[in-house]
């Protein structure tokens, strides 16, 4: 008890003090080109909100690129025979940042909160029965599923465990009944987590400072891991890169655009890690709108899409995506229809369309590109150029991401084309395939407005869910479903991109995919070579 | 006194008018505040509930009354992009913008006034030619472009100055929120230097146009003044030239500068919307630009109203000072 | 009328007027000599010449640019960000389009921006100013208070808000700026009308039984047109600056429209290495605005002599 109190005292003290470098431990500095608009892990959407959430909060199970998930706050778990009930056994030595011990009650609270507060985490966990969350004892929790969900355990990575007592002690007036605002006000500038870092200072639109949590027990602190992380919001890419080269930042969250790559590669002090991601890039088509309701038009459009240029010239490289699921998740699956850039074939399919050329020429199709995402606009320009050659008019329209998300929730408002990526937060084919069944419609993200279905595909996906996870039979069904979906071209399946991560050579940052989106940015795994002169010079900046 | 009260009343009417204008703009023009506010997957019931909660289902004049009432209590409503109260954001970010605008204004006046006077007294000389050329070009720069080019020059090419942000190290203790003032008050010289270095580049960009206008206006009003009979008379009676310039020129410069400040202030706040964006300056203008672009309607109204309030107050004060300094106007009224 | 804003805008308009000192006044009559008199102001002539070139470029753009296809949604990823060369005098941009081609086409957008903004602003502002100045009293109070209200929010801010609320596009940006800009013309028309309505010809017209509308639009308006013309050309430059700023912020032109502000916005991520893609569109804005200002000053001096 005394120890707990002491930790609590220390952590509350360090929160109260303005956080500037304590001598000895390295400070990690980086720039963010998007605003951090929420610190609530349930509401986090963009790369930075997500990165902050996963450094400040821990999940029950931790993503692992090889094994899927490994025990974390939960030291073990088991499923019932019908795979509709899961029981997790928690470690008893995990502390929240206020020094209190993490208990099953907190897990139950966090789950209920994630399923109540709007945000994309709830979407991934929607198979869980919110009213049947059982706290068996302080270290045991049981969830009941409404239907079998083969991706359930992997999806648990997204559930960040929050300090329920602390949030409720600080609740404000709100629309969640006895839960008030569910801690939203408290979370505006502080955290309620148990992760390796604590939010020490946050100024919306300006900066974020994280400090290492000394009471962290799940991983031992290395002396050359960042003791403090300073993130500055720098909206302009050019300024961000200038500051990186000037040594004000240690690494760069963003892959440089292809024309800029050589600038990074030629700098002797800079290293660039490259790894293949599972980010699924596609152009979703609203198949309820004419002429996109015609499969031949969709196939023609798919053939008119130059995926290689998109992948290698607009983005910094990657592997081609055949069908809705990346190869890495689907295993060996031969015969998925693929649309390699071919204008002749595009013309052939368009000729087969039920729409006459004169009718096609009348459509004005909007291509929504996320405002400010330059690469996305370029993809739109490219597609509109080749579709113009086919006699189809496409207008590229920059739209705010939140507006796209809102529009995509209904087929009536969904854009004809949206280019975006799904960062495969949950690494399982079923998550990605579900979007092509009615059950997966309308989820704003990550499906992004797919309103296409097919009875055979739905049948296969449902059947696969009931089979043993990872079994050849299950994978075979997923393979068949992918073939069928790709044949109908409800979206242009583009590619999985290559991540280029520039860093100063004294820093070892993530070097491969982290197993779930942004888990490569667990800062406690970053290491500094503190003996290098560049390190010493840059830390002073 | 009656005149003064009338002016106060007029000013209040202007502010009220702007509040009505902005209120109508965000509600009458297309763009659904509910969709913007709720974003992700709203059901119709949720949207209706939200409408009712926000009072958006009531008739417009009632909405306006409620809205005025909230404003009177200092409530601007929640910002969508930063999900907290707009008033809080504004009060947090206002000092940054004020510091920048005041510095730019000072820079424009301190450099522009002497330059204008020298230009006029050395009419058609080399200095005059150069300063006229600068003034012509100064008002013609697109601010965003000048900012980018200056960033490249100062930051990337010469590595002389920081090119974004307001301060690198810890900010000085909060007193006024203006870093230069606070660091001086607390004797924190390192913070002062730090903040000053960050201010240089955005100040120059923001002051480009105003500097040109100050120089030009001071020059032309000086020329006017110097061609008046009493100046020739002073020359004739043998008053030294510098004394004449000083006596007539400066008094004239003061009132001219005052009017200019009233005119330049809104212009500079407007330019700040672009300049703060490029320099990642954590001020109200950058927030305002982001909020407008994001259709964050509480923030749009909040920011424009605060900006309007400042413009109106600055105009009012400069005008009153103008009247105090110039007895002719005082007598006229 | 609040005196502050009146004096401020009056004086500030003056602030940009001094650039070229009036040439020695030699009164000459005859239409043929007018141009000669105007062209003695060499800087103004420079401004007019540049504007003429821009106008010609805008009109004949499709025939004079080296790569007419690069205006629309052309992309060429084999020629991305090539530095200036004989093939591409201003280099290529981030999707391989010829920058010179796009800069030339951009003249169309900037000149139409100026034209549309001013047309809207004059149409709203001048009648407001005429009415306010001519009728005085309550009409004046109401109209000028509305003008004050519009002036209390910086033009860029109000125009940005209106554009975004209308839906970001170049046309909406033009409409929004026009809708914000009328206040300058209301001010000038108001001030001018106040002084002109005292003149003898107004009294004469009135005694002959002319209607108020006739007096305002047939007697007073022609007599204040020179002041309005000067103000129009001075405001044209600022309208272009505001329009390009809106596009830079992402509220105006949509890709792939070759609008100068949008071009700078799109290529700024490739600074400092690929400086040409941002430098030239920015220079084009600068030159256009300078020309409008030179023209305005020239006109002012010209009318001042009359």
- Are B127 and B205 contained in the same domain? yes
Q: Is the pLDDT of residue B202 over 50?
A: yes
Six-digit token pair at A25? 């431990």
CA angle B160, B162, B165 (to 5 degrees): 165
Q: Is the pLDDT of residue B44 over 70?
A: no
CA angle A290, A294, A298 (to 5 degrees): 100
CB-CB neighbours of A207 under 10 Å: 18
Cβ–Cβ below 8 Å for B41 and A236:
no
pLDDT digits (tens, 9 = 90+) for C96-112: 999 999 999 999 999 99
* Residue A255 falls inside a structural domain: no
CB-CB neighbours of C64 under 10 Å: 12
Q: DSSP letters of chain C?
A: --HHHHHHHHHHHHHTTTTSPPPPP----SHHHHHHHHHTSHHHHHHHHHHHHHHHHHHHHHHHSS-GGGGTT---TTSTTPPS-SS-TT-B-TTS-BHHHHHHHHHHHHHHHHHHHHHHHHHHHHHHHHHHHHH-HHHHHHHHHHHHHHHTS-HHHHHHHHHHHH-S-HHHHHHHHHHHHHHHHHHHHHHHHHHHTTSHHHHHHHHTT--HHHIIIIIIHHHHHHHHHHHHHHHHHHHHHHHHHHHHHTSSPPTT---HHHHHHHHGGGTTTTTHHHHHHHHHHHHHHHHHHHHHHHHHHHHHH-
Collect all residues of chain B within an 8 Å Cβ-Cβ radius of residue C114: none
What is the per-residue pLDDT for C9? Answer: 37
Mean pLDDT (chain C, rounded):
85
Cβ–Cβ below 8 Å for B277 and A235:
yes
What is the per-residue pLDDT for B31? Answer: 55
Q: Is the pLDDT of residue B150 over 60?
A: yes
What is the per-residue pLDDT for B248? Answer: 66
- Are B68 and B100 contained in the same domain? no
Collect all residues of chain A within an 8 Å Cβ-Cβ radius of residue C271: 238
The model's confidence at residue C32, banded by pLDDT at 50, 70 and 90, is: confident
Mention every residue, 6+ apart, whose C-beta is less than 8 A from residue A331: A475, A479
Higher per-residue confidence, B250 vs B216: B216
* Residue A261 falls inside a structural domain: no
What is the per-residue pLDDT for C7? Answer: 37
- Are B111 and B37 contained in the same domain? no
Mean pLDDT for the stretch of residues B74-94? 82
What is the per-residue pLDDT for B41? Answer: 45
**Which residues of chain A from 352 to 411 reach within 8 Å of chain B, CB to CB?**
371, 400, 402-403, 405-406, 409
The enclosing domain of B281 has a CATH number of: 1.10.3720.10
The verdict on A335 touching B (C-beta cutoff 8 Å) is: no
Cβ–Cβ below 8 Å for B145 and C282:
yes
CA angle C282, C288, C291 (to 5 degrees): 140
Nearest residue in A to B43, CA atom: A409
The enclosing domain of A2 has a CATH number of: 3.40.190.10
Gap from A264 CA to chain B (nearest CA, Å): 15
* ipTM of the prediction: 0.87
* Residue A19 falls inside a structural domain: no
- What count of Cα atoms within 13 Å lies in the side-chain half-sphere of residue B134? 20
Six-digit token pair at A247? 């040594």
Chains touching C by CB (3 or more pairs below 8 Å): A, B
Q: Is the pLDDT of residue B238 over 70?
A: no
What is the per-residue pLDDT for B174? Answer: 86
- Are B148 and B282 contained in the same domain? yes
- Are B104 and B178 contained in the same domain? yes
Distance CA B149, CA A6 (A): 53
Collect all residues of chain C within an 8 Å Cβ-Cβ radius of residue B295: 164-165
What is the per-residue pLDDT for B43? Answer: 53
Please name the residue that has the structure tokens 């929050």. Answer: A162
Six-digit token pair at A220? 């031992």
Listed residue (C170, C303, C142) closest to C233, CA to CA: C303
Domain count, chain A: 2
For residue A439, give the DSSP letter.
G
The enclosing domain of A365 has a CATH number of: 3.10.105.10
Domain stop point among B72, B107, B126: B72
Six-digit token pair at C261? 């502000």
- Are B50 and B105 contained in the same domain? no
- In SS3 terms, C285-305 reads as HHHHHHHHHHHHHHHHHHHHH
Q: Is the pLDDT of residue B75 over 90?
A: no
Q: Looking at the partner chain, which of C250, C254, C273 has a beta carbon nearest the beta carbon of A263?
A: C273
**Which residues of chain A from 154 to 213 reach within 8 Å of chain B, CB to CB?**
175, 184, 188, 203-206
The model's confidence at residue C43, banded by pLDDT at 50, 70 and 90, is: confident
Cβ–Cβ below 8 Å for C164 and B292:
yes
The verdict on B276 touching A (C-beta cutoff 8 Å) is: no
What is the per-residue pLDDT for C243? Answer: 95
The domain locations on chain C are 30-54+109-254+278-302
CB-CB neighbours of B7 under 10 Å: 18
Q: What residues make up the domain containing A490?
A: 276-497
What is the per-residue pLDDT for A9? Answer: 39
* Residue A4 falls inside a structural domain: yes
What is the per-residue pLDDT for B157? Answer: 66
The model's confidence at residue C23, banded by pLDDT at 50, 70 and 90, is: very low
Listed residue (B316, B317, B278) closest to B11, CA to CA: B316
Least confident of B237-251, C61-75, C202-216: B237-251
* Residue A42 falls inside a structural domain: yes
* Residue A258 falls inside a structural domain: no
* C124: phi then psi, degrees, rounded to nearest 5: -85, -45
What is the per-residue pLDDT for A325? Answer: 93
* Residue A438 falls inside a structural domain: yes
Domain count, chain B: 2
Q: What residues make up the domain containing B33?
A: 2-72
Chains touching B by CB (3 or more pairs below 8 Å): A, C
The verdict on C113 touching B (C-beta cutoff 8 Å) is: no
Mean pLDDT for the stretch of residues B255-274? 86
- Hey, is B72 helix, strand or coil? helix
- Are A493 and A515 contained in the same domain? no
Q: Is the pLDDT of residue B49 over 60?
A: yes
- Are B44 and B149 contained in the same domain? no
- Are B46 and B128 contained in the same domain? no
Look at the pTM and tell me if it is higher than 0.90.
Answer: no
Please name the residue that has the structure tokens 């000599």. Answer: C33
* Cβ proximity of A95 and A7 under 8 Å: yes
Distance CA C303, CA A192 (A): 71
Q: DSSP letters of A186-230?
A: GGGT-----SSEEEEEEETTTEEEEEE-TT--SSPPPTTS-SEEE
Six-digit token pair at C231? 């103000």
- Which numeric CATH code is attached to C30-54+109-254+278-302? 1.10.3720.10
Cβ–Cβ below 8 Å for A236 and B295:
no
In order along its 541 residues, chain A shows pLDDT tens digits of: 344 433 333 333 333 333 444 457 999 999 998 878 889 999 887 889 999 999 999 999 999 988 889 999 999 999 999 999 999 999 999 999 999 999 999 999 999 999 988 777 887 888 899 999 999 999 999 999 998 888 899 999 999 999 999 999 999 887 788 898 899 889 988 999 999 999 999 987 788 999 999 999 999 999 999 999 999 988 778 788 888 998 999 999 988 988 889 889 999 999 999 999 988 999 999 999 999 999 999 999 999 999 999 999 899 899 999 999 998 888 889 899 999 999 999 999 999 999 999 999 999 999 998 877 888 988 998 999 899 999 999 988 888 777 787 788 888 889 999 998 888 788 889 988 988 998 888 765 555 788 999 999 999 999 998 888 889 999 999 999 999 999 999 999 999 999 999 999 999 998 888 888 889 999 999 999 999 999 999 988 7
- Hey, is A368 helix, strand or coil? strand
Collect all residues of chain A within an 8 Å Cβ-Cβ radius of residue C250: 371-372, 398
């Amino acid at each position: 008890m005394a120890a707990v109190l002491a930790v609590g005292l220390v952590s509350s003290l360090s929160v109260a003090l303005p956080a500037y470098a304590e001598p000895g431990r390295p400070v990690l500095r980086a720039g963010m080109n998007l605003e951090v608009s929420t610190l609530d892990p349930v509401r986090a959407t963009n790369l930075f909100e997500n990165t902050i959430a996963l450094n400040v909060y821990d999940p029950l199970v931790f993503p692992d690129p090889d094994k899927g998930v490994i025990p974390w706050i939960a030291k073990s778990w088991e499923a019932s025979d019908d795979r509709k009930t899961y029981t997790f056994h928690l470690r008893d030595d995990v502390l929240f940042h206020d020094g209190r011990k993490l208990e099953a009650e907190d897990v139950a609270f966090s789950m209920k909160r994630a399923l109540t507060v709007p945000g994309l985490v709830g979407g991934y966990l929607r198979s869980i029965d919110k009213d049947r969350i059982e706290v068996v004892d302080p270290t045991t929790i049981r969830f009941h599923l409404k239907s079998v969900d083969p991706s359930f355990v992997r999806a648990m990575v997204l559930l960040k465990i929050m300090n329920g007592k602390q949030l409720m002690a600080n609740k404000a007036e709100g629309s969640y009944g006895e839960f008030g605002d569910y801690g939203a006000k408290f979370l505006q500038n502080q955290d309620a987590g148990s992760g390796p870092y604590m939010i020490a200072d946050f100024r919306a639109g300006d900066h974020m400072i994280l400090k290492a949590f000394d009471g962290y027990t799940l991983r031992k602190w290395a002396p050359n891991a960042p003791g403090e992380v300073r993130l500055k919001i720098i909206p302009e890419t050019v300024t961000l890169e200038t500051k990186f080269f000037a040594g004000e930042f240690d690494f760069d969250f963003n892959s440089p655009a292809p024309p800029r790559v050589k600038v990074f590669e030629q700098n002797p002090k800079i290293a660039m890690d490259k790894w293949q991601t599972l980010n699924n890039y596609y152009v979703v088509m609203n198949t309820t709108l004419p002429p996109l309701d015609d499969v031949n038009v969709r196939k023609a459009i798919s053939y008119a899409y130059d995926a290689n240029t998109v992948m290698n010239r607009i983005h910094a490289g990657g592997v081609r995506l055949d069908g809705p699921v990346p190869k890495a998740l689907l295993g060996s699956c031969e015969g998925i229809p693929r649309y390699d850039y071919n204008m002749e074939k595009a013309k052939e399919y368009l000729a087969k369309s039920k729409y006459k050329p004169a009718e096609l020429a009348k459509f004005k199709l909007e291509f929504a590109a996320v405002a400010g995402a330059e690469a996305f606009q370029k993809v739109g320009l490219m597609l509109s150029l080749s579709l113009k050659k086919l006699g189809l008019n496409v207008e590229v329209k920059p739209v705010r991401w939140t507006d796209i998300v809102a529009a995509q929730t209904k087929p009536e408002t969904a854009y004809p084309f949206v280019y975006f990526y799904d960062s495969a937060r949950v690494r399982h084919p079923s998550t990605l395939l579900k979007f092509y069944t009615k059950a997966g419609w309308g989820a704003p993200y990550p499906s992004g407005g797919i309103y296409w279905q097919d009875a055979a595909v739905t049948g296969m996906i449902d059947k696969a869910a009931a089979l043993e996870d990872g079994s050849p039979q299950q994978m075979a069904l997923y393979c068949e479903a992918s073939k069928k979906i790709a044949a109908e071209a409800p979206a242009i399946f583009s590619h999985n991109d290559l991540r280029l991560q520039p860093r100063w050579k004294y820093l070892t940052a993530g070097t491969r995919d982290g197993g779930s989106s942004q888990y490569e940015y667990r800062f406690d795994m970053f290491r500094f070579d503190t003996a290098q002169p560049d390190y010493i010079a840059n830390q002073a900046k | 006194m009656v005149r003064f009260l009338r002016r106060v009343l007029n000013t209040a009417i202007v502010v009220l008018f702007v509040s009505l204008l902005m209120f109508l703009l965000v509600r009458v023009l297309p763009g659904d505040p509910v969709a913007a506010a709720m974003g992700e997957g709203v059901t119709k019931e949720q949207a209706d509930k939200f409408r009712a909660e926000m009072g958006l289902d009531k008739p417009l004049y009632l909405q306006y009354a409620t809205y005025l009432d909230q404003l009177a209590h200092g409530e601007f409503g929640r910002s969508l992009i930063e999900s907290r109260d707009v008033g809080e954001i504004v009060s947090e970010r206002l000092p940054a913008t004020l510091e920048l605008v005041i510095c730019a204004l000072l820079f424009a006046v301190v450099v522009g006034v002497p330059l204008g006077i020298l230009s006029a007294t050395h009419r058609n000389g080399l200095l005059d030619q150069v300063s006229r050329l600068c003034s012509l070009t100064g008002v013609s720069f697109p601010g965003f472009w000048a900012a980018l080019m200056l960033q490249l020059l100062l930051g990337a090419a010469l590595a002389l100055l920081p090119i974004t942000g307001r301060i690198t190290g810890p900010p000085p203790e909060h007193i006024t929120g203006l870093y230069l003032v606070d660091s001086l008050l607390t004797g924190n010289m390192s913070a002062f230097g730090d903040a000053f270095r960050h201010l240089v580049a955005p100040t120059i960009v923001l002051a480009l146009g105003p500097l040109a206008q100050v120089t030009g206006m001071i020059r032309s009003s000086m020329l006017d003044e110097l061609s008046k009979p009493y100046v020739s008379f002073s020359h004739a009676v043998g008053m030294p030239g510098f004394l004449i310039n000083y006596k007539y020129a400066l008094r004239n410069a003061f009132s001219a500068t005052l009017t200019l400040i009233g005119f330049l202030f809104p212009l500079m706040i407007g330019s700040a919307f672009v300049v703060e964006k490029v320099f990642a300056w954590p001020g109200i203008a950058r927030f305002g630009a982001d909020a407008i672009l994001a259709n964050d309607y509480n923030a749009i109204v909040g920011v424009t109203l605060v900006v309007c309030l400042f413009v109106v107050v600055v105009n009012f004060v400069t005008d009153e000072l103008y009247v105090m300094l110039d007895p002719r106007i005082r007598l006229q009224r | 009328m609040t005196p502050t804003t009146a004096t401020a805008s009056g004086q500030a308009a003056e602030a940009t007027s001094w650039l070229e000192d009036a040439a020695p006044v030699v009164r000459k009559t005859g239409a043929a000599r007018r141009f000669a008199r105007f062209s003695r102001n060499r800087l103004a002539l420079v401004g007019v010449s540049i504007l003429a070139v821009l106008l010609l470029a805008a009109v004949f753009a499709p025939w004079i640019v080296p790569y007419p296809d690069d205006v629309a949604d052309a992309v060429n990823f084999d020629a991305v960000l090539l530095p200036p060369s004989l093939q591409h005098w201003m280099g290529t941009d981030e999707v391989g389009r010829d920058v010179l081609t796009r800069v030339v086409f951009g003249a169309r957008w900037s000149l139409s921006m100026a034209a549309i903004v001013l047309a809207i602003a004059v149409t709203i502002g001048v009648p407001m100013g005429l009415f306010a100045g001519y009728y005085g009293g309550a009409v004046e109070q109401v109209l000028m208070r509305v003008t004050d209200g519009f002036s209390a929010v910086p033009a860029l801010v109000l125009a940005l808000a209106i554009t975004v609320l209308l839906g970001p596009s170049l046309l909406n940006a033009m409409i929004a700026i026009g809708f914000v800009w009328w206040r300058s013309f209301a001010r000038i028309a108001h001030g001018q009308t106040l002084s002109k309505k005292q003149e003898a010809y107004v009294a004469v017209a009135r005694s002959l039984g002319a209607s108020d509308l006739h007096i305002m639009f047939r007697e007073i308006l022609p007599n204040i047109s020179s002041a309005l013309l000067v103000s129009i050309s001075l405001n044209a430059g600022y309208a272009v600056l505001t329009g390009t700023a809106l596009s830079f912020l992402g509220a105006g032109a949509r890709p792939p429209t070759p609008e100068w502000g949008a071009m700078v916005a799109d290529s700024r991520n490739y600074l400092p290495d690929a400086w040409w893609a941002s430098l030239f569109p920015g220079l084009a804005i600068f030159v256009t605005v300078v020309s409008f200002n030179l023209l305005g000053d020239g006109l002012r001096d010209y009318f001042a002599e009359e």
